[in-house]
Amino acid sequence: MILVCQRLLKNTKISGITLFPFIILKKPEYLHDQILINHEKIHLRQQVELLVIFFYIWYVIEYYYWYFKLKDHFLAYKSISFEREAYAMEDDLNYLDSRKVWNFFKYILD
């Protein structure tokens, strides 16, 4: 389910966030941004594969690993395997039709 919640994301740089089972967007016009929606749907699939809670645990651990290594919030965020997969494949609107289970693993090793 896709929701628009301007208040929640008001003072952030975040355009959208996936909190299973919802995709939350910052602005109503983002409902028409197929690439952003696809990016967030990739995160939904990742969350399901890791039974949701393990996705969030892994995400936070990986973020802090990269943050302590790179000393930069944005670079740490972009280095998380889940984000690397989502950014790499967000332009392919058919990606989820052929995506293999746990495909984010290949982005850990890249």
Q: Tens place of pLDDT for every residue, the chain, 110 residues? A: 999 998 999 999 999 999 999 999 999 999 999 999 999 999 999 999 999 999 999 999 999 999 999 999 999 999 999 999 999 999 999 999 999 999 999 998 66
51 vs 20, 34, 38, 63, 73, CA distance in Å?
10, 25, 20, 19, 26
Note the pLDDT of residue 22.
98
Note the pLDDT of residue 110.
61
**pTM score:** 0.95
Rounded Cα gap, residues 83 and 62, in angstroms: 11
First to last CA, the chain: 32
Short-list 90, 101, 5, CA closest to 40? 90
